[in-house]
Amino acid sequence: MSAIEQPQPAALQFPALEPPRRYLFGPGPSMVHPRVYGALAKPIVGHLDPYFIQVMTDVQQLLKTAFGTNDGATLVISGTGSAGMEAAVANFVEPGAKIAVFANGYFSDRLTEMAKRQGANVVRFEKAWGETYTEDEAREFIRREKPKVVAYVHAETSTGALQAGQAICAAAHDAGALVIADCVTSLGGVPVAFDQTGIDVAYSCTQKGLSCPPGLSPMEMSPRAMDFLRARTSPSRSWYLDLKLIHDYSTVSHRYHHTAPISMFYALREALLVIAEEGIENRWERHRRCHRSFVKGVEALGLRMHVPEDHRIAILNTVCVPEGIDEAKVRKRLLDESDIEIAGGFGPLAGKVFRIGMMGPLATEDNVQFFLKEFKKALNAEGYSN
């Protein structure tokens, strides 16, 4: 075999990483601040190193402001938002316990599936994807079912609907139940108001409203939830997601539980510092302004929103696909011609909505107008006119 014919080492057969530079206008992941990328490049230390323990402590303190709480326990799960969801269900929904789920989208369905796998008795209040629940409906459902746990999705990623939680939490507490709230899409972009709402267990993710890469799931637990956790005698069916063990590692003894993703904690700390420097209320207001501008522009194109005005998520817009337009082709054209990523609907909303995020660094008036211009071009190219 000649030198030319010699097989090359595997590493030489692959090009260097050069990911395309996209505008992430989808429902997540969102754009990442340059300072967060810088934090990812910092040298790692061990997961039991005093420096890393301090990083975890800093993250927990900064997250309390984002969640809107001064009390309870703050943890970060090493896993994406679905890991936070499973941790909430595995630790607070015991086998045989009744859980009442407000079911109006994909992620309430995922909550349901996880609860069933824990052996829970699941009861659901079904509504069409994109609809929300009134205070009276929430109270009546909980009073009738008398569950041990109540679960709802605060900001439903699949539909763009924002569900108020005060009535749900009040009725649940009257029934002696704990409340789990899915805040995956809301944290950092719209107020969660954990204490004010009365939530007991909230979980989120890093790659949406916090403008950080995916990989961690922040969690907040009320004193009531912590009391339940301490009093629970049967072990969680998940060892990795056992919140007693994670809480001990994160905040008490710092004894080894698992090897935390060091660099992702650096990134989350920096993302939270960026938010703190802007001011969380200023951040919410910036997203609200951009949402209003986006809706005004969409309506000027003759399009309509899927969710009624009072129940829209400011950072995630669901726009109805015009009749006769193939939404997949519009999305492909945006990606191929403008490097813009958005998402379509799925489940009952497949082919019926565009899911368009206005999060973090992209939530500026200039970016809203840039997107609307490119969106109009893509729609027109696929045969839409207004």
The dotted CATH code for 34-276 is 3.40.640.10
| Alpha carbons 189 and 100: distance in angstroms, whole number | 27
d(CA 139, CA 166): 10
Q: Is-contact 361 208, C-beta < 8 A?
A: no
CB proximity list for 77: less than 8 A, separation 6 or greater: 83, 84, 87, 203, 216, 217, 218, 219, 241, 246
Tokens representing 190?
């719209």
Task: Please give the Cα distance from 342 to 287 (Å, whole number).
Answer: 17
- pLDDT by residue for the chain (386 residues), tens only, comes to 455 566 666 667 888 899 999 999 999 999 999 999 999 999 999 999 999 999 999 999 999 999 999 999 999 999 999 999 999 999 999 999 999 999 999 999 999 999 999 999 999 999 999 999 999 999 999 999 999 999 999 999 999 999 999 999 999 999 999 999 999 999 999 999 999 999 999 999 999 999 999 999 999 999 999 999 999 999 999 999 999 999 999 999 999 999 999 999 999 999 999 999 999 999 999 999 999 999 999 999 999 999 999 999 999 999 999 999 999 999 999 999 999 999 999 999 999 999 999 999 999 999 999 999 999 999 999 999 98
Instruction: Judge: domain 23-29+280-381, CATH 3.40.50.10130.
Output: no
Rounded distance between C-alpha atoms, residue 95 and residue 109, angstroms:
18
SS in 3 state form for 317-353?
EEEECCCCCCHHHHHHHHHHHHCEECEECCHHHCCCE
β-strand 343-344 against 353-357: which pairing, if any? antiparallel
Q: Tell me if the bond preceding 29 is cis, omega within 30° of 0.
A: yes
* pLDDT tens figures, 119-177: 999 999 999 999 999 999 999 999 999 999 999 999 999 999 999 999 999 999 999 99
Please state the domain extents for the chain.
23-29+280-381, 34-276
d(CA 306, CA 284): 22
